[in-house]
Amino acid sequence: MKENVVIIGGGPSGIEAARRIRNFGYTPILIEKELRLGGHLAQWDRLFPEGVYAKEVLQTLLSDMDGIKWFTDVQILTINRLKDTYVIKLTNGISVQSKAVLITTGFQLFQAEKKEEYGYGIYNHVITNADLERYFQNRKDSRIDDPKVIGFVHCVGSRDEKAGNRQCSKVCCATAVKQACEIKQLYPDATVYCFYMDLRMFGRRYEDMYLEAQQKYGIRFIRGRVSEVSENHEGRLVVKAEDTLFGRPLRLSMDLLVLMSGIVSSHQSQELAKMIKLPVGEDGFFLPQNTILEPCKSQKQGIFFAGACTGPKTIPESLSEARAAAVAINDYFNTMTE
């Protein structure tokens, strides 16, 4: 009999893990809370550093789903362990059993309205990175009206203890630089500013992207965190920051401000952690057994992790981890039968 493997979360990590687990000869059962598979990837237009379309990546992942069972629009009611088997009750009335459970509950974006001083939801021309990706996808957003001056605020709700998130979200620097270049492609006459604390261009070719932003697109980088945003009588945004390299306060008005919402642990991860008593770090992300040697194993037998549920990750990193988790699960079944 083929063993079941329950995968919680149908984002890129969950989908890729399901494919690999199937290739090992198991029956993956993928559980997704939204109406369709794809997670955040489905909401994104293009991916750094080369600008590959997220849609194409997702289509490739979803083109090979034979032998995978999946449920969408479904959440988990309870998880109980009987000997070495987990019994998982779903909101659609179905109950599934599996000796291995893979958690791929990913992340959620920081709610930008919590940083009230940036005026998201208050001023009409303040949007988030996710809003901008949606705009890139469908070119519809009443808040974006032929902007002449555009600003990007890095680290919104990340590296911010007061916002409850000390961690760096890792991927927003590269995303901001990518989006700055993309909006400059759409509005070549606009002046585009990036307000950053540090630019963390950690991946291969990311530094090239930064250089291209400076040279080809003329993006203006200002080192300093935006302290407050207001609106003037013309309805334009007025942004205050310190130019820390100059050592002087700086003020400028803008037509569009994009907040780079950081990555925080997902609501589903928090629920699961409570349900099966899995340890999480101070940042809310799951703690694996060993962050260096066993990043895919949890501290509980038969429970595994992949993707951004253990911290911010790029898409290729999440996909690699999904494959690693498939190997770890296969090893787990092999040691059980020995």
CB closer to another protein, 251 vs 277: 251
> What letter represents residue 190's amino acid?
A
CB of 210 to another protein, least distance (A): 8
With respect to another protein, which residue has the nearer C-beta, 166 or 216? 216
Write out the binding residues for another protein, residues 134-163 only, by CB under 8 A: none
Give the C-alpha separation, 230 to 116, whole Å: 11
Token representation of residue 32: 């997704």
Taking the complex as a whole, the smallest distance from the CB of residue 183 to another protein amounts, in Å, to: 18
Residue whose C-alpha is closest to residue 329's, from 291, 284, 285, 298 = 298
Query: Is residue 277 close enough to count as binding another protein by CB under 8 A?
Result: no
Near another protein in 218-257, by CB under 8 A? 218, 220-221, 223, 243, 245-246, 248-253
Q: Give the containing element (helix H, strand E) for 28.
A: strand 27-31
Least Cβ distance, residue 278 to another protein (angstroms): 41
Total number of residues binding another protein (CB under 8 A)? 18
Q: d(Cα 127, Cα 261) in Å, to the nearest integer?
A: 10
Cβ closer to another protein: 235 or 249?
Answer: 249
Torsions phi, psi for 107 (to 5 deg) = -140, 175
Q: How far is the CB of 109 from another protein (least distance, A)?
A: 28
The binder of another protein chosen from 214, 291, 301, 334 (CB under 8 A): 214
Closest CA to 30 of 113, 125, 96: 96
- Read off the amino acid at residue 293: L
208 vs 282 by CB, closer to another protein = 208
Instruction: Write down the least CB distance from residue 318 to another protein, Å.
Output: 29
Cβ pair 254, 151 in contact under 8 A: yes
Residue (96 or 238) nearer to another protein, CB: 238
Taking the least distance from each CB to another protein, the nearer of 223 and 225 is 223
Q: How many CA atoms are closer than 13 Å to the CA of 25, on its beta-carbon side?
A: 6
Nearest residue to 132 (alpha-carbon basis) of 204, 192, 218: 192
Closest contact distance (angstroms) between CB of 78 and another protein is: 53
* 27 CA to centre of own chain: 27
Q: DSSP per residue over 58-92, as a string?
A: HHHHHT--TT-EEE-S--EEEEEEETTEEEEEETT
- At its nearest, how many Å lie between another protein and the CB of residue 245? 5
Of 176 and 328, the one with the shorter C-beta distance to another protein is 176
Binding site for another protein (CB under 8 A): 199, 210-211, 214-215, 218, 220-221, 223, 243, 245-246, 248-253
